[in-house]
Amino acid sequence: MKTRTVVHMPSLVLSSCLVFSLACTVFAHQAPHKFLHCVQSHNSESISQVIYSKNNSSYLSNLLFSIQNIRFISPSMPKPAFIVIPFTESQIQAVVLCSKASGLQVRVRCGGHDYEGLSYSSHVPFVIIDLRNLSSIRIDAKKRVAWVEGGALLGNLSYQIAKRSGNLAYPNGLCPTVGVGGHFSGGGYGTLLRKYGLAADNVLDARIINANGEILDRKSMGEDLFWAIRGGGAASFGVVTAWKIRLVKVPDIVTVFTVNRTLEQNATDLVHRWQYVADKFDRDLFVRILVTRVNSSHHKEKTTVQAAFNSIFLGKIDRLLPLMQESFPELGLVQEDCKEKRWIEAVLYFSDLPDGSTLDDLTNRNPNPKTYYKAKSDFVQVPIPKHGLKGLWKFFDEDEAADAQLIFAPYGGRMSEIPESQIPFPHRAGNIYEIQHLAYWDNERNKQAERYINWLRRLYEYLTPFVSKNPRAAYLNYRDLDLGVNNDGNTSYKQASVWGTQYFKNNFKRLVEVKSKVDPSNFFRNEQSIPILST
């Protein structure tokens, strides 16, 4: 491992110097020593036990530990000067102050699911603060609140809540290894969004370490910054070390079902019809659609498109069936399709963990094999006509679509009641559903990664007339650098508005104002961080 890192060192220096000219060559060599010296003088308490440099044998395994999109693991990936795995807030304070003083950038990592790898890579010399050892979850079931540390993962959160009460839950996303750091601060939604809104809508308080190394809570940070970190992405503002959240109620028994229909089984008509009902259903009902390519059962050697209506109802089968009969009879849901479960079992059902996984596996930080992928997102405000859907299915005839997936997630209900400016996440009333477009490929095909990415870009282009416009909206947690990137430390409001308004609409302006006020030196920055107003 030592040899490996030594070999890659020159590429790190080279890439940073393309950006920064000659001065940084010298700088890049000195910064690590300056940094180490600084943290030791700031925080003698055990700091050397939590800092890994390239000299440490577990540097690489710690770097790779939570990288979810292996598209970013390559020998040329710029690597951090240090990985810090703190277990106290004071260690983070020291790292923030010393990174700043020695000219290193900071990347904060929680679950490591960032779609563009921004939590663990950078083209300038940097330090990773990996929060995985600050991940305790304290639940007060009586008061229906919890304090969740900044490095906790969604699976453990669900698991710990269920241990305390079968009737409490949190309205967060489905994948158990997603981190609360990125997820809550970028919005965060799951099967409860139609009833309770986003994860970020239910945050009550937070602790953040700002660019001056100060620890702030809701009261001391003020309502502007507290607003910004609930949907605007915390990475632009500091290190969130804990969230206080309001738990929500779920019934003893819920019902899940997944009804699959191929094109031969009327999938086009069903998806078309779904667009007219999915956001208007009773808010106890969440029916999303997973679109994939499958082998045709009608014609050997042929493939078809399958729409899986993957659903949960916050109640029992006897109330669900008449409701579906009334709102969406075309799907033909029958009792045999449905399973009644406890809430936490439904969480496992939606978790995408391998078959045979148990509830305990929800707490596993590293369960699934990792994949290569690229994603984009869209919001649909007017139902896509049938000819539009048929054109979309054509993309699934192409080779690149073998493992591709589209996920249609319904909005409406609580989402339509929350004003666009309540938190930075602006995609509320008027949106019927959100689409996530995903291209996947494997190791063997990684040499042709560009083909898959281009497939996705062509599909996105095709959808232009059918989705939201001016701006074409996008979801921050499905980060997409195709929308635009910052020049390091030097991006105008106007340039950044191109992608900023796609994620945040009119809230982008307020985010820039908050950023300019709380981090005027733009210390916390990345390729898509909120820029500061230039003076």
Ligand X SMILES: Cc1cc2nc3c(=O)[nH]c(=O)nc-3n(C[C@H](O)[C@H](O)[C@H](O)COP(=O)(O)OP(=O)(O)OC[C@H]3O[C@@H](n4cnc5c(N)ncnc54)[C@H](O)[C@@H]3O)c2cc1C
Determine if 310 is a binding residue for ligand X (CB under 6 A): no
Only segment of 4-12, 128-136, 242-250, 386-394 that touches ligand NAG (CB under 6 A): 128-136
- To the nearest whole angstrom, how small is the minimum distance from the Cβ of residue 403 to ligand X? 14
# residues contacting ligand X (CB under 6 A): 33
Name residues contacting ligand X, limited to 171-190 (CB under 6 A). Answer: 173-175, 178-179, 181-183, 185-190
- To the nearest whole angstrom, how small is the minimum distance from the Cβ of residue 510 to ligand X? 19
CB 124 within 8 A of CB 19: yes
Determine if 403 is a binding residue for ligand NAG (CB under 6 A): no
Other Cβ atoms closer than 10 A to 312:
26
Among 119, 191, 210, 292, binds ligand NAG (CB under 6 A): 292
Name residues contacting ligand NAG, limited to 19-78 (CB under 6 A). Answer: 32, 48-53, 55-56
- The strand pairing partners of 153, in sequence order, are 179
- To the nearest whole angstrom, how small is the minimum distance from the Cβ of residue 138 to ligand NAG? 7
For residue 498, the one-letter residue type is V
Determine if 412 is a binding residue for ligand X (CB under 6 A): no
Nearest Cα to Cα of residue 241 among 176, 184, 197, 198: 184
Only segment of 208-216, 290-298, 370-378, 476-484 that touches ligand NAG (CB under 6 A): 290-298
CA distance 133 to 109: 11
* Sign of the dihedral through C-alpha 361, 362, 366, 369: positive
Determine if 135 is a binding residue for ligand NAG (CB under 6 A): yes
CB 199 within 8 A of CB 187: yes
CA distance 291 to 307: 5
Left, alpha or beta for 415 (phi > 0: left; psi -120 to 50: alpha)?
A: alpha
- To the nearest whole angstrom, how small is the minimum distance from the Cβ of residue 156 to ligand NAG? 4
| Beta-carbon contacts of residue 387 (< 8 Å; ≥ 6 apart) | none
* Residues acting as catalytic residues: 478
Give per-residue burial for 63-92: e unless 16+ CB within 10 Å, then b.
Answer: bebbbbbbbbeeeebbbbbbbbbbbbbbbb
CA distance 99 to 102: 5
CA distance 515 to 491: 13
239 binds, among ligand X, ligand NAG, none (CB under 5 to 8 A by kind): ligand X
Only segment of 31-39, 106-114, 288-296, 452-460 that touches ligand X (CB under 6 A): 106-114
CA distance 516 to 312: 42
CB 437 within 8 A of CB 292: no
Determine if 200 is a binding residue for ligand X (CB under 6 A): no
Residue 472 φ/ψ, nearest 5 degrees = -75, 110
Among 121, 122, 156, 528, binds ligand NAG (CB under 6 A): 156
Determine if 427 is a binding residue for ligand X (CB under 6 A): no
* Cβ distance to ligand NAG smaller for residue 468 or 486: 486
Only segment of 114-122, 134-142, 211-219, 467-475 that touches ligand NAG (CB under 6 A): 134-142
189 binds, among ligand X, ligand NAG, none (CB under 5 to 8 A by kind): ligand X
Determine if 477 is a binding residue for ligand X (CB under 6 A): yes
* Cβ distance to ligand NAG smaller for residue 181 or 197: 181
183 binds, among ligand NAG, ligand X, none (CB under 5 to 8 A by kind): ligand X
Among 30, 335, 446, 490, binds ligand NAG (CB under 6 A): 490
* Sign of the dihedral through C-alpha 351, 356, 361, 364: negative
Q: How many helices (H) and strands (E) does the chain have?
A: 16, 18
Among 32, 78, 86, 112, binds ligand X (CB under 6 A): 112
Only segment of 110-118, 264-272, 278-286, 464-472 that touches ligand X (CB under 6 A): 110-118
CB 428 within 8 A of CB 414: no
CA distance 448 to 440: 12
80 binds, among ligand NAG, ligand X, none (CB under 5 to 8 A by kind): none
Query: Binding string to ligand X for residues 61 to 100, with x set by CB under 6 A, is what?
Result: -------x--------------------------------
Determine if 85 is a binding residue for ligand NAG (CB under 6 A): yes
β-strand 303-313 against 285-295: which pairing, if any? antiparallel
What DSSP line would sit under 1-65, residue for residue?
-HHHHHHHHHHHHHHHHHHH-THHHHHHHHHHHHHHHHHHHH--SSGGGSEEETTSTTHHHHHHT
Among 109, 207, 374, 437, binds ligand X (CB under 6 A): 109
Give the residues lining the site for ligand X (CB under 6 A): 68, 107-115, 118-119, 131, 150, 173-175, 178-179, 181-183, 185-190, 234-235, 239-240, 477
Give the residues lining the site for ligand NAG (CB under 6 A): 32, 48-53, 55-56, 85, 87, 133, 135-137, 156, 160, 258, 260, 266, 269, 273, 290, 292, 295, 301, 308, 330, 363, 365, 487, 490
